[in-house]
Structure 1
Amino acid sequence: MTRTSIRTLRPAALAAALLALAPASQAAGFKAGDWDLTLGGFVNAYYTSASCSGAVDIGLAGKTLGCGGKSGHTTIGNGLLPNALVATGKTTQDGVDIGVTLMIGSAVSTDSAIGANSGVDVRQGFMTLGNAGMGTFKLGRDYGLFGSTAILSDMTLLGVGAPTRATQQGRVSLGHIGAGYSYLGHYGQFTWSAPAMGPVALSVGVMSPVDGSADAGRSPQLQALATVDVGGGAKAWVGAKTQKFEGATAADDFTMNGVEVGAKATLGGVELLGNLQTGKGLGMLADGDSGDAKQTNWLLQGKVAVAPKLKLGLSLGETTMKDAAAAAFKSNANTTVGAYYNLTTSVTLVGELSRTESKNGAGAKARQNGIALGGIVFF
C-alpha cells in the first residue's frame, strides 16, 4: 500500500485500505445523529489484449482459461479490482466503538451487448465492536487474513496483472492470483484484532468453511495474521490458515494447511516486497480447488519512483504444485512490468506488459502474453 500502514488493517475495513491507495482520495462524510457516515468507492477500466500459445492447454496461460478457447482475446474490463461503492459508519456508545461497512461491486465487461450486466459482487458487509482495552471484534462478511498483505501490496492491484479472460468477463483480472499467491477470499467470519501492542498487530479469525474440490467439513476455517512494524519504512508479517474438506468417502478427505511469511521495505523512492506461502490444499484460485496437493507460492516485487507522479515496477510470482503427474498441472508463473502515473490526486493511469507461463508435470508449457492500458479513479 502507499500510505496506509499494515497495522491500520486490524480494526479498519479493507475497503478503507483500498481507498487509501489513492494519493488523496476522500470519501464524502456526513453526520446522522451520533454516527459518522462516509460514502466513497472506486471505478476502473482497462483495454487488455492477450495471445495464448503452447503445446498444452493447461493452467492460467492455456487457451481455455487465458484466451477463452481462442489463440487470443481483447477485453475492455476491470483490472484486479472491481468497481465498488463503499459505505461506512462509526460511532461510540457506552464506551464501545461501533463500525459498519458495506461494499457493493460490479463488473465492466460481459460477453453480451444486450444481456443485463446485473451481477452484484458483495465482498464486504460487516460490523465491528471494540475499544482500546478489549481490541476489536468483526462480525460479518469480509476479506480473509491469509494473503491479504501480499495482494494489498501487489502493484497490479491498481492494474491488471494476468489478463485472464475466464475471470475478466463478468468479474476481474487475476493480478498474481494463482501465479504468486493464493487469493485472500471473502468469508462470513468472527475475527478478533488484539489491542495495540506497540509495533505488533495480531488478528485471528473463525471463518465460515467453504467448498473446494471436496465439500466443506463441519469445522470452521481458522486464520491468523501477525504484522510487525520494524521501523525505517519496513514491515514483516506471518500468517496461517486451516480447514478440513470432506470428500465422497473418507479416503477423499483432506485438511488444508497453509503458512505465509513476507516483508516490505521502502528505501527512498524504492519499494521492495517479498512474500512466500506454502502448504497443502491452498488451491490455485480458491481454497482447496486443487485437492490436497502440496503447494508453494512466491512473489517478488520492486517499484521505483522515477518522477514525482510516476512509478515503474517489476513483479514476479509463481505458484507450484509439488509431485504433479506428467499430464497434471504443475505451475503458473507471471511476470508483469508496469508504469503507474498519478494524473490527479484521484486518478491513476496504468500501462502493463505481462507474461504468464503454465507447465504440466512433464514440462510442457502454455504461454499468455498480455498488454493492459487504462486507469482507476478513487472517490
Structure 2
Amino acid sequence: MPRSKRQRPRLMFAVAMGSGFLLHSHLAHADDYTDLLDILRAKGSLTQTEYDGLLAKHLHHAHPVTPRTRTAAARRGSAAETTARIQPGESRRPYAPPPPDSLSLLAQAQDAAARAQASAQDARQALLSTRSAMNSDSVVRVAKYVPGKGITIKAGQIDINFSGFVNGFYTFNSPGGGTPVAGGVSTGASGFDTSSVRNGLLPAGLLVKLSTTQDGLDLSANFGFYPGLDNNNPGAFNANSGGSAVGLGTAGLDVRQVFATVGNKDIGTFKVGRDLGLFGGDAILNDATLLSVGSTGSNANPANTSLGRIGVGYVYADWIPQISYASPVYHGLQGTIGIFQPLDEFNFAGSGYSATNVQHSSPMVQGKVTYDFDVGSLKGRIWSSFLVEHQQHLLGAAIASQSSRSTTAVAGDIGTKLTYGRLEGVAYYYYGSGLGTTGLFFDGLSQSGRKRDSEGYYVQAAYKIFPRLKVVGSYGVSNLYQAPGESIPLMVRRNESEVGAAYFTLTDWLTLMAEYAHTRSAAHGPDHNSDNTVSAGAAIFF
C-alpha cells in the first residue's frame, strides 16, 4: 500500500482530535464567561436587564444551533473523558483564546461592572455628605417622639426638651361637721358645701431642659414653670396661698425648678439650683394623689394646688435651693447628699402656739439612699432619707427676748414601692424632732422653743383591672406630739385620710380621673372635724 494511503487515516484522526480540542477550549471559555456574568450580577455590578442581554448575546455567538454544534456537544463527553485520563506530571494543553465575539462581550461586561462600581461610589459619597450636613450645628431637627418623654428639638449638639402637663377638676367638698383644730387640714368645721373648678395636687406645668455633652461631661439647664387655674392671692405661701374668688383676678405662676447639672455615669452628677428636696421627695412622687386632688386644703378659694396627702401621710419635701451630689448607680444602689437653703421654723397653727426663727449660720443638710432591684417578676425600690438643720435665735411666747436659744431639727424616713404584674404597692414612714407637720418646720417647736416630735405614714395599693384602667386605695396619718411640759388642747394632734380613685388612660396623653377622699383632723383636746370630697377631671401629659 502506498505511504500516502497508509498516512490518511492518521491525518484524519489528528484533524478530528484538533477540532475536538478547539471546540472543547471554546466551550470551556464559554462556561468561564457565564460564571463571570453570574459573579458580576451577584455583586450588584450588573442589573438583571444587563445580565440577561449579555448572556443572550454570548449564547448566540458561542453556541449557534447547527448540526456541527450538536455534533460538538455530543463529542464533549468524549473530550472530557480524555482530559480526565491525564496522569499527574503530564503537561496540559495550552489555553486557547476565545473567539473575537466572546472577547467583545467580556469587555462589555467589564465596562458595565466598572460603571456600576463608580455609580455605587458616587451614591456612598452622597450619603456621607448628607449625613455630615445633617450633623452640622446649623441644622435643627426633631427627635422621634416617645410618649411621656416630651418633645426634643436637636439644634446641633444641643437637645432642647419640652414636656409638661395640664389638668383640671370639678371638686365638691362637703363638711362632716365638728370644731376647728389649730394646724388641722380638714375643712369639716366650715359648715357649708363648696364647689370649685381647680387644679389637683399638681398645677399645670411646663418643663424646659437644655442638655449637651462637652469634654466628656453631660450638662443640662432646667426650668420648671407651674401655673395654676384659679385667681392668685399672694400670702405667706405666695402662689400656693389660698386663692381669691373675685372677678378680674389672675392665676399664679410657681417657678419651682431652676437648676443645672454637671456629670456623667462614671463620676456621678452635681446639681446647683432650686429643685425638689431629698427628704420626703420619694414619698410625694409615689403618692397616687399627685395625679388627682386628695385633701383639698381650701376649696372655696382654691390655691394653685390641693394638699393630696401632704400633712396626712408625709411632710411636704418642698422646692429648695441646693447644691447636691448624686453618686453613680452601682448595682441599683445610689447615694445623694447636699446642702440646702435653711428654712425658718413657722407658726402654722397661729395664736402664738409655736416658736419661730429667722436666723441661720449654717445650711440645711439632706441626704438619701435608694436601691432599685428586680427579682423575677417583682420590681421595686427602697429608699431612706434624712434632714438636719440648726435653728438659731428662737422667738416664742415663752422665750425671753434677750435669750439666744437655739436647737437642731432632725428627721428621717424609709419607704418602698413594689410592682408585681398588675399590682403595685407603696409603704412609707417618717419620724422627726423639731420637723413639725404638713410643711417643713411647721409647728415644729413649742412656745418655749422645745422640739415637738412628729411621725406619720401611708400605705397605698393600686391594681390595673385592664391595661388602661387602674384603681387605687390609700390610707395615711400624720401625728404631731406635744413637747415636754406643753399643754395646748387646741393644737392639732392627728390628721388622717382615706382615698379611693380610678384612673383611665384614654390615650398616650389623656388620662381621666375620679376620686373620693375622707379627711379628719383631731386636736390634743376634744376638738375634731372631718370632710368628704368628690373630684372628677382630666389631665394631659406630654
1:188 aligns with 2:321: yes
Judged with a 3 Å threshold, the aligned counterparts in structure 2 of structure 1 residues 347 and 185 are, in CA distance, closer, same or farther, namely: same
How far did residue 286 of structure 1 move? Answer: 1.8
Q: Which residue, out of 294, 298, 306, partners 2:465?
A: 306
Q: For structure 2, which runs of at least 5 residues remain unmatched after alignment?
A: 1-145, 232-243, 347-355, 396-400, 446-451
Could you tell me the TM-score, scaled by structure 1's length?
A: 0.88
What residue number does 2:532 align with? 369
1:217 aligns with 2:370: no
Structure showing greater radius of gyration is 2
Structure showing the higher strand proportion among its residues: 1
Q: Which residue, out of 424, 428, 435, partners 1:282?
A: 435
How far did residue 211 of structure 1 move? Answer: 1.8
What residue number does 1:3 align with? none
Deviations 1:47-69 (A, max 9, x none): 11112243321144444xx68x4
Question: For 1:203 and 1:279, how far apart are their aligned partners in 2?
Answer: 20
Greater displacement, 286-295 / 23-32: 23-32
1:324-363 equivalent positions in 2, closer than 5 A: 325-363=488-526
Question: For 2:248 and 2:297, how far apart are their aligned partners in 1?
Answer: 21
- What amino acid sits opposite 1:278 in the alignment? Y
How far did residue 322 of structure 1 move? Answer: 1.6
Greater displacement, 247-256 / 155-164: 247-256
Conserved? CA contact 2:386–2:411, under 8 Å: yes
How far did residue 123 of structure 1 move? Answer: 0.5
Conserved? CA contact 2:312–2:438, under 8 Å: no
Deviations 1:102-139 (A, max 9, x none): 00111112333533314210010100001233210000
What residue number does 1:56 align with? 179
What residue number does 2:415 align with? 262
Q: Greater relative contact order (Cα 8 A, min sep 6): structure 1 or 2?
A: 1
Greater displacement, 163-172 / 316-325: 163-172
Judged with a 3 Å threshold, the aligned counterparts in structure 2 of structure 1 residues 182 and 256 are, in CA distance, closer, same or farther, namely: same
Q: Which residue, out of 42, 60, 63, partners 2:165?
A: 42
Question: For 1:254 and 1:75, how far apart are their aligned partners in 2?
Answer: 42
CA RMSD of aligned residues (A): 1.9
Judged with a 3 Å threshold, the aligned counterparts in structure 2 of structure 1 residues 216 and 122 are, in CA distance, closer, same or farther, namely: farther
1:137 aligns with 2:270: yes
Judged with a 3 Å threshold, the aligned counterparts in structure 2 of structure 1 residues 203 and 367 are, in CA distance, closer, same or farther, namely: same
1:164 aligns with 2:297: yes
What residue number does 1:230 align with? 373
Question: For 1:117 and 1:136, how far apart are their aligned partners in 2?
Answer: 38
Q: Aligned residues, how many?
A: 354
- What amino acid sits opposite 2:372 in the alignment? D
Judged with a 3 Å threshold, the aligned counterparts in structure 2 of structure 1 residues 307 and 267 are, in CA distance, closer, same or farther, namely: same
- What amino acid sits opposite 1:326 in the alignment? P
Question: For 1:230 and 1:62, how far apart are their aligned partners in 2?
Answer: 38
Deviations 1:81-108 (A, max 9, x none): 0111110011011111101110011111
Question: Percent identical across equivalent pairs?
Answer: 30
What residue number does 1:15 align with? none
How far did residue 355 of structure 1 move? Answer: 0.5
How far did residue 326 of structure 1 move? Answer: 2.3
Conserved? CA contact 1:56–1:62, under 8 Å: no
How far did residue 363 of structure 1 move? Answer: 4.2
Question: For 1:354 and 1:365, how far apart are their aligned partners in 2?
Answer: 17
Question: For 1:168 and 1:331, how far apart are their aligned partners in 2?
Answer: 24
Question: For 1:216 and 1:166, how far apart are their aligned partners in 2?
Answer: 34
Q: For residue 210 of structure 1, give the secondary structure of its aligned residue in structure 2.
A: coil
Deviations 1:340-375 (A, max 9, x none): 110111111110100000000124311011111001
Judged with a 3 Å threshold, the aligned counterparts in structure 2 of structure 1 residues 302 and 43 are, in CA distance, closer, same or farther, namely: same
Judged with a 3 Å threshold, the aligned counterparts in structure 2 of structure 1 residues 62 and 276 are, in CA distance, closer, same or farther, namely: closer
Judged with a 3 Å threshold, the aligned counterparts in structure 2 of structure 1 residues 50 and 99 are, in CA distance, closer, same or farther, namely: same
Q: For structure 1, which runs of at least 5 residues remain unmatched after alignment?
A: 1-22
Question: For 1:168 and 1:137, how far apart are their aligned partners in 2?
Answer: 40
Judged with a 3 Å threshold, the aligned counterparts in structure 2 of structure 1 residues 167 and 377 are, in CA distance, closer, same or farther, namely: farther
